[in-house]
């Protein structure tokens, strides 16, 4: 049974293009190595005509030279003889260097609102939990309010908040996101351009709450861990090691962890067992979720910290 192939598939194009390059390398390097081996063996035979093993080595070098030189030719001729009626031959002929640069698909076509000079006055347009932002009170409250303002409310269909289902971030989040970080917003990476990265979501919430822009990440690697702590301290935050108990959390806390293996996450705690988060791998463009015990477990975490506003 013939397996149908999509020749426009990026993974298939990358694989076939890589195989072609490997064959081309074999075609060039293989015969060169065989010729070198043949030359060495011929020299040995001239110096010592009585050596019995040298003739067999020369024969093997000649056979290897012929086979290595002919392999790519045999493959290309075979694909040509198969014709376009066979999927693999058709894809093989059309395989060129793939364009791996992803294209951003606007999750809200026809519903783009202009960025206003004051993001606090931006009209929520029906998205978010509260539809408005409260720019007053303690920093922690302002951060939590910003997270509720940016995130899709509970019960929102996945088609709106998940980019894998055609959705993305709320219009009010994207307005501020494009304003604060235009380089990220114009990225060709659609997951970044849609604001679904947890780092970008949490940082935008903190910038909104502080009323002050900063550029460092809230999900630092090990080498930047202490640097991030110091920069957050300058902004009025203290870092607390999280013990995994929900009762240790306070509204407006910024939680982040790194796994012992790889990866990590950062989100904003809202109180009452709920948090707001974006997620790169899951494609969540800012949603409100329940904070379960499994989400808070610390066993597989390398580090688990809270950034808490001290004023």
Q: Where are the beta strands (DSSP E) in the chain?
A: 237-241, 254-259, 264-271, 274-279, 284-290, 301-309
> Distance between CA atoms of 268 and 250, rounded to whole angstroms?
10
Please state the φ and ψ torsions of residue 256, each to the nearest 5 degrees.
-145, 150
**Is pLDDT of 301 > 80?**
yes
Mean pLDDT for all residues in the chain: 76
Q: Give, rounded to a whole angstrom, the gap between the first and last alpha carbons of the chain.
A: 69
Q: What pLDDT is attached to residue 13?
A: 59
pLDDT in tens, 186-232: 666 766 767 778 988 999 999 999 998 888 889 998 899 999 999 99
Angle at alpha carbon of residue 187, lines to 139 and 237, rounded to 5°: 20
pLDDT in tens, 129-150: 445 777 778 999 999 999 999 9
pLDDT band at 3 (very low <50, low <70, confident <90, very high): very low
> Distance between CA atoms of 265 and 268, rounded to whole angstroms?
11
Burial of 255 (0-12, 13-18, 19+ CB in 10 A): buried
Positive or negative torsion for Cα 170, 174, 175, 180:
positive
């Amino acid at each position: 049974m013939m397996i149908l192939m999509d020749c426009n598939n990026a993974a298939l194009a990358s694989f076939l293009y890589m195989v072609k390059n490997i064959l081309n390398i074999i075609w060039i390097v293989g015969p060169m190595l065989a010729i070198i081996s043949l030359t060495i063996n011929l020299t040995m035979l001239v110096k010592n005509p009585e050596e019995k093993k040298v003739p067999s080595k020369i024969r093997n070098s000649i056979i290897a030279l012929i086979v290595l030189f002919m392999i790519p030719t045999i493959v290309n001729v075979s694909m040509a003889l198969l014709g376009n009626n066979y999927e693999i031959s058709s894809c093989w002929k059309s395989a060129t260097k793939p364009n791996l640069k992803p294209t951003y698909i606007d999750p809200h076509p026809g519903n783009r609102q202009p960025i206003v000079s004051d993001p606090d006055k931006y009209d929520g347009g029906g998205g978010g939990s509260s539809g408005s932002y409260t720019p007053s009170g303690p920093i922690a409250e302002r951060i939590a309010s910003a997270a509720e303002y940016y995130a899709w409310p509970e019960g929102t269909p996945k088609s709106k908040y998940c980019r894998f289902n055609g959705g993305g971030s709320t219009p009010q989040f994207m307005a501020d996101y494009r304003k604060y970080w235009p380089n990220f917003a114009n990225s060709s990476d659609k997951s970044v351009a849609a604001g679904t990265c947890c780092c970008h979501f949490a940082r935008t919430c903190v910038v909104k709450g502080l009323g002050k822009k900063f550029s460092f990440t809230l999900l630092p690697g090990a080498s930047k861990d202490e640097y991030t702590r110091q920069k957050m301290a300058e902004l009025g935050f203290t870092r607390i090691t999280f013990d995994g108990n929900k009762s240790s959390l306070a509204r407006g806390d910024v939680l982040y962890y790194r796994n012992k293996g790889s990866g990590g996450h950062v989100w904003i705690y809202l109180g009452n067992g709920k948090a707001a988060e974006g997620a790169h791998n899951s494609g969540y463009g800012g949603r409100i979720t329940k904070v379960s015990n499994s989400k808070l477990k610390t066993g597989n975490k390398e580090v688990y910290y809270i950034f808490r506003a001290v004023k």
